[in-house]
């Protein structure tokens, strides 16, 4: 089986086209695994030795940034930000866009700047490779500070929540875990913030439109040449 290795190199449009068009599976390189783990280790050490507020880790979010969060509630905070922001509306978006969002989110986290667990990224990779596609809705993105609602819906299945499209059916995240033999990911400090911050929703649409336009241009040139 052919795999595309996710590493520190930039993901080119040609790479994305190759992965999507040929249904190539992906995997983390040893380099990316080390970068992700190193950042997580740094963050855990920082939390254990730091007494000052760190935004989004031991504080609330947005206007609640002055609210302190106890160490015993750090993980719950990250789960709650995903649950609270999963409020998208409208029709569900096409499966090929969801697939692209998963790929882009994995790539973003692979640089090792987000403080997530390797297990969290690996679960997203498993979802991509197994065509486990979270149900994401059309409306709810803020864009400027992150595609918060769409990425919250993307992340719900990590917790055993939300809905996914799998093998032609829409099932719950809880049912998915039973079918796949998966356990919900126990999110650690900062992970919810890392999963929600990003523009993978709008980027996926932009990339899909760019690739589709490029294909149409190539076809138009061929048709034009044949007509001469």
DSSP for the chain, written as a single string: --EEEE-SS---HHHHHHHHHTT-EEEE-HHHHHHHHHHHHHHHHHHHH--S--TTTTB-SGGGTT-B--GGGHHHHHHHHHHHH---EEEEPPHHHHHHHHHHHHHHHTTS-S---HHHHHHHHHHHHTT-EE--EEE----SS--HHHHHHHHGGGGT-SEEEETTEEEEHHHHHHHHT-------TTHHHHHHSS-HHHHHHHHHHHHHHHHHHHHHHHHHHHH-
Instruction: Quote the CA–CA distance of 180 and 158 in Å, as a whole number.
Output: 12
pLDDT at 144: 65
24: Cβ contacts below 8 Å, ≥ 6 apart: 2, 3, 4, 18
Quote the pLDDT of residue 12.
95
pLDDT of residue 171: 98
- Quickly state the pLDDT bin for 89 (edges 50, 70, 90): very high
Statement: residue 145 has pLDDT above 70? no
Answer yes or no: is pLDDT of 95 > 90: yes
* pLDDT at res. 142: 72
Q: Given a cut of 80, is residue 113 above it in pLDDT?
A: yes
Angle at 73 between CA 71 and CA 148, to 5 degrees: 120
Say if CB 160 and CB 173 are below 8 A apart.
yes
Query: Average pLDDT in the 200-220 region?
Result: 95
Task: Supply 149's token pair.
Answer: 């609602």
Range 3-221 has CATH code 3.30.70.260: no
Mean pLDDT of all residues in 5-26: 95
| pLDDT, position 123 | 98
- Mean pLDDT for the chain? 94
The model's confidence at residue 222, banded by pLDDT at 50, 70 and 90, is: very high
Catalytic residues: 55
Q: Please state the length of the chain.
A: 228
Whether 15 shows a pLDDT value over 90: the answer reads yes
Does 142 or 55 have the greater pLDDT score? 55
Mean pLDDT for the stretch of residues 48-68: 90
Closest C-alpha among 101, 103, 111, 98 to residue 33 = 111
Q: Which residue ranges make up each domain of the chain?
A: 3-221
47-61, 82-96, 203-217 — which is least confidently predicted? 47-61
């Amino acid at each position: 089986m052919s795999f595309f290795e996710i590493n520190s190199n930039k993901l080119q449009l040609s790479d994305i086209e190759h992965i999507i068009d040929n249904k190539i599976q992906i995997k983390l390189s040893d380099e990316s695994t080390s970068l992700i783990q190193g950042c997580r280790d740094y963050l855990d050490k920082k939390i254990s030795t730091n007494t000052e507020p760190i935004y989004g880790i031991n504080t609330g979010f947005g206007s609640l940034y002055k609210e302190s969060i106890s160490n015993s509630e750090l993980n719950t905070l990250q789960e709650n930000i995903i649950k609270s922001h999963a409020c998208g509306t409208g029709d569900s978006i096409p499966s090929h866009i969801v697939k692209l969002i998963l790929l882009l989110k994995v790539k973003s986290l692979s640089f090792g700047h987000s403080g997530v667990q390797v297990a969290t990224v690996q679960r997203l990779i498993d979802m991509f490779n197994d065509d486990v596609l979270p149900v994401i809705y059309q409306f709810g993105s803020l864009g400027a500070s992150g595609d918060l609602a769409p990425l919250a819906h993307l992340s719900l299945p990590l917790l055993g929540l939300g809905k996914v499209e799998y093998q032609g059916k829409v099932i719950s995240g809880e049912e998915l875990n039973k079918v796949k033999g998966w356990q919900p990911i126990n999110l650690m400090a900062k992970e919810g913030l890392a999963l929600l911050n990003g523009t993978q929703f709008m980027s996926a649409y932009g990339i899909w439109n760019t690739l589709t336009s490029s294909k149409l241009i190539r076809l138009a040139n061929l048709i034009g040449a044949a007509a001469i």
